[in-house]
Structure 1
Amino acid sequence: MVGKHIVNLLSNSSEHTLRTMVRSEEQANQLRQSGVEAVVCNLEGSVDEIAEVMKGTDAVIFTAGSGGKTGPDKTLLVDLDGAVKSMEAAEKVGANRYVIVSAFQAHNRESWKDSPIKPYMVAKHYADRMLVATELNYTIVRPGSLLNEPSKGKVKVSENLLRGSITREDVAKTVVATLNEKNTYRRSFDLMSGEMGIQEALQNI
């Protein structure tokens, strides 16, 4: 659902041109009816297939997930391998800027050693590590518990934060704001609701 907010923001942007990658023709048609360019591709496909739909782009935002109703196998195939293949595809087509929505404290194994979603956290941990090892100009955004509430427009960002929550819309706004914010280049951070405007918070990481 964070991805839907990002699509809404970028489709109304005067600065960026949007292309969305979705799993089904039905999803693509719904987006096209709203005037959004949409392509169909499966993250379980090949790097070449993913690269083909990325051609001509200069930035990639990865918000895909296997979903809470699938098993650890899909978590590995989408949240880990799918993410890594998208990084390889981005490098292949020269889309140097890459922003990924990760998970709160995914970099800190101790924080999720007893988590009921440990396979998901492991997948996020290693996807993020693979991204750091690439030559891509990355940003890793690790949001806290996600809320379906209206945007508050105020956040807190830091390498390490205490657990908290944030609206999905504010995650989307933060992700979009990172695209051209040089202070977030090759950086990763936890993200929560806070008291600082998004742009200001990113400039003061």
Structure 2
Amino acid sequence: MRVVVAGGHGQIARLVLQGLAEAGHQAVGLIRNPDHAVDLLQLDAIPVLIDLEQVALDALAADLVGVDAVVFAAGAGPGSGPERKLTVDRDAAVLLADAAERAGVNRYLMVSALGADSFDPDSTDVFQIYLRAKSEADADLRRRDLDWTIIRPGGLTDDQPTGLVTLAEQTGPGSIPRADVAALVIEALLHRTAVRCQFEAISGETPINEALAAQAGAGQ
């Protein structure tokens, strides 16, 4: 497979790229900072310099021709203001979907956020705007005729992966290692499971492959 990961230098993205490359797939990371290219090359991933806040749709679509799947793992990051929550966490995700459709890429996996739909629409709080951005990006993806999967992880940690998760429409509060989120992404991509499924993800007691298969079954 040739998989393009937006937000290619993010922590989850690098784990996804590394896992795909180790499994023998072409892992392509979209980055906006050329200084980050060497980090991706060290993972045997292919860096492509694209700023999703600036790139034109046609140019992005041209870079996706021949790709089997895209992963949106980009984010404005901590310390960014409300405007960039919308331009990155929402608008860049929508742009990637538009480009995927134009390039004929049917598989789209979104890394979203637990509780995204619970945002306060009247709040000017940055976190509430972040949740709004994620919720609106997810809603845009769900309306498309793509083979999408939306993963909404809980609080992210740098703990060692357990390979055990709880997946549900609503899990309640919880945390999950970034490495387990990456493993969910890779499993869903390589085994093409949980298509047209949206779920929250926290650490639990069910092996990742079984939990994804259960989501796939529930969505049928």
Q: For 2:202, what is the secondary structure of its paired residue?
A: strand
How much does 1:7 deviate? 1.2
Q: For 1:163, what is the secondary structure of its paired residue?
A: coil
How much does 1:198 deviate? 0.2
The answer to whether structure 1 residue 32 and structure 2 residue 61 are counterparts is no
User: Which runs of structure 2 are paired with 1:1-205 in the superposition (5 Å)?
Assistant: 1-14=11-24, 16-44=25-53, 45-109=55-119, 117-205=127-215
1:174, 1:7 → 2: CA distance? Answer: 13
Q: Mark the runs of 5 or more structure 2 residues left unpaired by the alignment.
A: 1-10, 216-220
What is the letter of the counterpart of residue 136 of structure 1?
L
1:166, 1:83 → 2: CA distance? Answer: 23
What's the TM-score, normalizing by structure 2?
0.86
Q: Mark the runs of 5 or more structure 1 residues left unpaired by the alignment.
A: none
Task: Write out per-residue CA displacement over residues 18-73 of structure 1, whole angstroms, 9 at most, x where no aligned residue.
Answer: 11111122212332354321111011122122222222101001100001111011
Identity of aligned residues (%): 36
RMSD: 1.8
Contact 1:96/1:137 (CA < 8 Å) preserved in 2? yes
With over 3 angstroms needed to count, the CA separation of the structure-2 counterparts of 1:75 and 1:99, relative to structure 1, is same
What's the TM-score, normalizing by structure 1?
0.92
Query: Aligned residue pairs: how many?
Result: 202
1:54, 1:26 → 2: CA distance? Answer: 22
Q: For structure 1, which segment, 53-62 or 162-171, has the greater mean C-alpha deviation from structure 2 after superposition?
A: 53-62
Q: For 2:26, what is the secondary structure of its paired residue?
A: coil
Contact 1:104/1:143 (CA < 8 Å) preserved in 2? yes
Contact 2:18/2:45 (CA < 8 Å) preserved in 1? no
What is the letter of the counterpart of residue 156 of structure 1?
T
